[in-house]
Structure 1
Amino acid sequence: MILQGKRVALPSAPVVHKQFEAHAAATPDAVAVFCAGQQVTYAELDARANRFAHFLATCGHGRGAKVGVCLDYSIDMLVAVLGTLKAGAAYVPFDPAYPSARLQLLLGQVPDLALIVASPATAGLVESAAVEVIDLGQLSDYLAGLPATAPAVSVTGDDVCYAVFTSGSTGTPKLTAVRHEGWFNLMNWLKLEYGLHQGSNNLVVSAFGFDLSQRALMTPLFCGATQYLMASRNFDAMLAYRMLTEHEVRVIHCASSTLYLLVDWETARGGDALTRLDYMLFGGEPLKFERIADWARREGNTCTLLHQYGVAECTDVATSYDLAGHRPGGQQVAPVGRPAHNTDIHLLDAQLRGVAPGEQGEICIAGASVGAGYLNTGPENQKFTTIEVDGEPRRVYRTGDRGYVTEAGELVVLGRIDAQVKVRGMRIDPTDIERALARLSGVREAAVVVTYTGAGEAELTAFIVPEGEDLAENDVRTALLETLPRNMVPAAFITVPRLPLSPHGKVDRAALVDAYMNQPAGSATAA
């Protein structure tokens, strides 16, 4: 079974920052970025990025280099990102909201990292890395003396533009690389398919290290619009909604859980900032349409909801579905729609053969969006494989997701084939958390599963077999926060005498949930 996206011709050198440069030349005085009361025009941002690109070139960090960026959302962040791209290098986002120990782990997974761009507020998080850390503020005088024009660097569509971390099946984070062609194709599709333009101003509401954030950051600059950034290291619903009411924001890219929070905020206060948006593009986890149904049907709501699907390994978005056509009563799971331009969806069986229409299969992605592979792990690159289509070889990425195609030709995602899970839009391997728990004093073994609240929200629950006395939840949580990002710390901790095993000798997570999740609140927990 194959779903084919529309074929659209791309430039000979499909490079995202060239689109930004074209807008800087055509509308130099238009506002490119607004953050914390400060703003910068397209011409000013272009000049600052060019100077940073020349700086990288003088350091020998040009085409093919990898530059780490560990900055809070700011104008400097965009200077670093655009300057890195202009130099022909690829940027690697390091989220400053992560604990230092986690950042150190991630830094160790980047082969041949050239340098790290940080600030006084973030440098301490990465200062022990065996790589140079620079501060754009401290370099301002030197940068001012460098050319404000773009460096003469040849960048192709096959070059890597950025690399982001995803969870690995071995418990080690994977660094997946995205190509310029795939990134350009994604933004060009969004622009053409949904009519994004110079007025399609965007507000970023997701963390910098998230794959979704990379297209959220760059799409408005690709279209000549204004990018609004929140001066907050973690998501702040109150700040986000205030910015929506105070500025002419038209577009938001977010995870489904963030959409629920924003809708709840607006519903509780009787506002209309969300309903006045042009688009909310969201996905990353199963949609609970009932959470937003009443809001979506509000009189005067002109916001188009685009339910999207994709993976970091294939430039984040592969399909999209307009929820205006969704009828929950006739279908339990909302579709994620049809492929983006120059993108195909193959549904394959375990032998990589196409399944029949209507049958379930593994979702495999082919086309322009397929990335360059993992930079820090060889075996995992087997997920990038080749199949034969009409007698011709075709490179695909095996997502590990299971799905089928409706009679209307819409893709439906049913869940994961492997152990990875999605919580609040982030793909997480529970073994990452289990390993961190096992390293804690007083923990003999642990299992982490996804459970659901009364409202149907996914959350992580840790079942812990202690060494001796029960553990205090606060102690466990505090210890985990020293090594794991907040979104990977379980919401609940339950102490158990042992971990039950299945007939195959593996931990029976379903038995844990059945045995302990129906207990009264507070009983048998590590709190």
Structure 2
Amino acid sequence: MRKEQVENSLSKKIAALTNHNDALVLVTFAAALGQTISCYEGKKEVQFLIPKEGGISRIQFYLEKNLSFKKLLLAVREQMVKEKNEENPGIEEVTPCQKIVLYHKGIHTAFQGQKDYLNIGIEEVDGNYMLQFSGEEGSTYWKDVLDSFIDTFNVIIAQGVSDPGISMDDVCFLGEENKKKILCFGKGEEKETSSNMLEKIHGVVEQYPEKTAVFAAGNALSYQELWEYSSKLADILESKGAKKGDHIALFTSRKVETIVGILGIIMAGAAYVPIETDYGVERMEYMVKDSGSIFAISASDISVITSIPTFQISLQELGQHVMAKEGNYEEAAEQNRYVIYTSGSTGKPKGVAVQNEQLMNLCNWYANVTNMTSDSKVLMLNVFGFDASVKNIFSSMLCGSELVLGPEYLFDFEGILELIRTCKITIMNCVPSLFYELLDVDKENGFTALKQLELIVLGGEAIERKRIEDWFQSDLFQTKIMNVYGPTECTSVSTYGFLDKEKLMSGEPINIGRPCYNKQVYVLSEDGKICPIHSVGELCISGIGTVDSYIGQAKTSREVFKKDLLHKERTLYHTGDLVYWNADGELIFIGRKDRQVKIDGHRIELGEIEQALLSQYEVMEQCCVLLEEQNNHKTLVAHVVMDAGAEPIQKIEDKMSDWLPAFMIPKKIITHQAFPLTPHGKIDYKALGKSLDEKKAMKETSTEKLSVRERIANIWKKILSVDEVDYNTNFFDAGGYSLLLYKLSRMIEIELKCKITYVELMTYTTIDTFSEYIEKKMSREALDPKELAKQKLKELKKNRSKNW
């Protein structure tokens, strides 16, 4: 129990406003409590409980825009009078999301408090009001939050009583001490940032000329070779007209040529625009034009045709090139280094140009917090078109580390683990979804590959505790895990935190940490106020790294790029992500602002439902999407990935009813082997939204049935979670995606006793073509080696005659 005395001057104002009427005093405190709850929940619709004779009342109201404190008092009073005349239900029938009971000791004399709730009692003692807070740790607002909650409650009631005409939109949430504390939470460490990137990289080249700079696909370049090839490429680009400030498109692949292309473009004074060759022709053409690229260079074997000239990077040709002049690498802080595209709500990607100073700030921070040195070996499992790649590329160059590029197919999990072993990787960076798959595969080997890693950097999506618990509990666990967060608009990473084993196992939320060097972050309410501790708001970021706008999208830029609250000369980016500060000054990620939906009049945060699913021990991954059914009625559908041997769906639904009201329980729960991913490795919500009915609509079109075909078809059904499959439909069109290819190969190997490569799976993508191929392959493997050689010779002669 805790008691807080209301200041004498404020008590007098409350007494004067209410004329010492206990009922009106209760109304006054109830109005302030409602605004306080709204502040902490990030919702305008609030509810709490007040006792009444023989029962309990639920007080529920909506905080409309421009609502004055006086009008709020009238609305609360009207609600209390209405509830007083209603029937007296038990507390289990009116339980709101906010477990708070407000009571007045002069009115509710028999009330003893409600277990597992925050009970707030009002008492008048010698002309002053006293607030009594009691509850248990089960109460939402008891553990770690009460100090901040009380401060906000007092600040709000003081403003309302002092000026009843004040708009609730103008009410502050924080006392001065708490405001200073929170602003301190949001300020990253100040560090000097150098702009002379190329000078520093050249220093590394002189210090470690023979050391491997980059390794990919069996090929390696030393720092001396990388510098020389890149210098010659820069010379060629300049001869073709490239100059300082230009943008040059770069078609990427996971080869050393891509790193040569990146460094060469920067040496020419230009900015590189990474484009993955599987983006699709229209998207690639849009990025080329929108970025203003003067021409393109390609490190990919795939032929790409665009509206601008494209030149292939050839190390052989670069080796023979004679430099026209020595490079002159003038660098400026505001010089663009790269342009990366992030997806846009309009369907067109948005270009973000990052400058030299911003990139160097990122690299300085990353190198320091990861303890990256010339002995480090950094494995990058991000595509080049994803901004997570840049910190690995440039930090490793600046530190003299060895950068190792993952395999071309990032779903080759065994290949990645082998790369970790053979290359003796010390630092690895990838998205959580990919890491879970690596964990599952390495678990069979006792985590022998992952145990040698010193640090794993995860980012791009929220970490699921359930997926990493086995590893954390393993005796072999000795690796640090860093969780990073940051939008492309703020140069890749803005906050970071290290996972703590003790906190993880205790069930505490996984945090996204504190701000990086020279960053300022705020958690703001809908009306732009700084939120108190544990109050949910939008994460906004300023400081070195935050860009000013999107390329050529002024209207969209104005919506998300504002002026910093404290430093008007800085740009403040509104991320659209909902977070809150915990008592330790760490940010807790809740979900997207635009994932709030409304069904049958109820405002619902999808993240809240997801947290309820996570509370079930057997749910491994989960997400929730909103679907439109044929009658246009919105329905919640939960998509889950469950552990083997998990309880039936009905039991999970029963458990969810303990946590959620009926209108928040999904009407369907669909299980998946794994979640589909975007090209950047994040969960693909669009693909996940494909309904179960659509999957079931696929019909088997072939009448001919063969044993191998049937067995392969059954494997498809298990992996795709469908009842029927089309034998002539492409695996990816049927709902498959990259991560499932690994599971497909494993199941085929177990079922048919036949080893399958990823190239084979990508080549024969229908059941018909694959079964035909696999039968031939199995028959060949069963042949005597001499007979097999004869057959191959016969096929060779046949093919030669065809060519002639």
TM-score (ref. length: structure 1):
0.79
Secondary structure of the corresponding residue to residue 594 of structure 2: coil
Shift in Å, 1:487: 7.5
Residue identity opposite 2:384 in structure 1? F
- Work out the CA distance in 2 between the residues paired with 1:147 and 1:258: 45
Contact 2:232 2:318 in 1 (8 A): no
- The one of 302, 308, 319 equivalent to 2:478 is 302
Deviations 1:180-239 (A, max 9, x none): 212111111122233210111111212222221222222211211111123414442111
Contact 1:326 1:334 in 2 (8 A): no
- Work out the CA distance in 1 between the residues paired with 2:530 and 2:511: 20
Contact 2:341 2:349 in 1 (8 A): yes
Contact 2:432 2:460 in 1 (8 A): yes
Residue identity opposite 1:70 in structure 2? F
Residue identity opposite 1:343 in structure 2? K
Secondary structure of the corresponding residue to residue 350 of structure 1: coil
Shift in Å, 1:147: 5.2
Shift in Å, 1:310: 0.8
- Work out the CA distance in 1 between the residues paired with 2:511 and 2:577: 14
- The one of 310, 317, 333 equivalent to 1:133 is 310
Distance 1:458 1:411, change over 3 A: farther
- Work out the CA distance in 2 between the residues paired with 1:112 and 1:223: 32
Shift in Å, 1:157: 1.9
Structure 2 residue 564 is matched with structure 1 residue 387:
yes
Structure 2 residue 245 is matched with structure 1 residue 64:
yes
Structure 2 residue 453 is matched with structure 1 residue 277:
yes
Residue identity opposite 1:130 in structure 2? S
Distance 1:480 1:164, change over 3 A: farther
Shift in Å, 1:299: 2.1
Distance 1:119 1:448, change over 3 A: farther
- The one of 252, 258, 263 equivalent to 1:77 is 258
Structure having greater relative contact order (Cα 8 Å, sep ≥ 6): 1
Structure 2 residue 372 is matched with structure 1 residue 185:
no
Contact 2:285 2:307 in 1 (8 A): no
Structure 2 residue 536 is matched with structure 1 residue 355:
no
- Work out the CA distance in 2 between the residues paired with 1:252 and 1:323: 15
- The one of 673, 681, 688 equivalent to 1:461 is 688
> Percent sequence identity over matched residues?
23
Residue identity opposite 2:261 in structure 1? A
| 1:115 alignment counterpart | 295
Shift in Å, 1:309: 0.9
Q: Which has the larger radius of gyration?
A: 2
Distance 1:138 1:485, change over 3 A: farther
Distance 1:358 1:143, change over 3 A: farther
Shift in Å, 1:451: 3.1
Structure 2 residue 269 is matched with structure 1 residue 88:
yes
Deviations 1:92-111 (A, max 9, x none): 11112334454334434x23
Structure 2 residue 209 is matched with structure 1 residue 28:
yes
Contact 1:32 1:40 in 2 (8 A): yes
Shift in Å, 1:289: 1.5
| 1:425 alignment counterpart | none
Secondary structure of the corresponding residue to residue 338 of structure 2: strand
Deviations 1:105-129 (A, max 9, x none): 4434x23211111156222xx31x1
Contact 1:447 1:462 in 2 (8 A): no
Contact 2:251 2:300 in 1 (8 A): no
- The one of 236, 253, 273 equivalent to 1:55 is 236
Contact 2:382 2:430 in 1 (8 A): yes
Structure 2 residue 332 is matched with structure 1 residue 156:
yes
Give the unaligned 5+ runs of structure 1.
423-429, 435-445, 490-527
Secondary structure of the corresponding residue to residue 116 of structure 1: strand
- Work out the CA distance in 2 between the residues paired with 1:388 and 1:485: 46
Give the unaligned 5+ runs of structure 2.
1-181, 597-605, 608-624, 629-633, 644-670, 677-686, 700-724, 741-804
Distance 1:87 1:370, change over 3 A: same
Contact 2:431 2:461 in 1 (8 A): yes
Residue identity opposite 1:35 in structure 2? A
Contact 1:157 1:179 in 2 (8 A): yes
| 1:452 alignment counterpart | 640
- Work out the CA distance in 2 between the residues paired with 1:338 and 1:199: 27
Shift in Å, 1:333: 2.5
| 2:191 alignment counterpart | 8
Alignment root-mean-square deviation, CA: 3.7
- The one of 89, 93, 103 equivalent to 2:284 is 103
| 1:314 alignment counterpart | 490
| 2:405 alignment counterpart | 229
More displaced 10-residue stretch of structure 1: 311-320 or 92-101:
92-101
- Work out the CA distance in 2 between the residues paired with 1:70 and 1:392: 39
Contact 2:542 2:564 in 1 (8 A): no
| 1:398 alignment counterpart | 574
Deviations 1:389-448 (A, max 9, x none): 1x75432111100001110010111100125999xxxxxxx99xx9xxxxxxxxxxx999
Distance 1:418 1:450, change over 3 A: farther
The structure that is helix-richer by fraction is 2
- Work out the CA distance in 2 between the residues paired with 1:131 and 1:63: 19
Distance 1:197 1:466, change over 3 A: closer
- Work out the CA distance in 1 between the residues paired with 2:573 and 2:731: 36
| 1:521 alignment counterpart | none
Deviations 1:119-168 (A, max 9, x none): 56222xx31x110110122981696112584x214222222211111110
- The one of 544, 548, 555 equivalent to 1:368 is 544
Residue identity opposite 2:301 in structure 1? A
Secondary structure of the corresponding residue to residue 570 of structure 2: strand
Distance 1:309 1:474, change over 3 A: farther
- Work out the CA distance in 2 between the residues paired with 1:344 and 1:80: 33
Where in structure 2 are the equivalents of 1:405-444 lying within 5 Å? 405-418=581-594
Distance 1:349 1:458, change over 3 A: farther
Contact 1:365 1:396 in 2 (8 A): yes
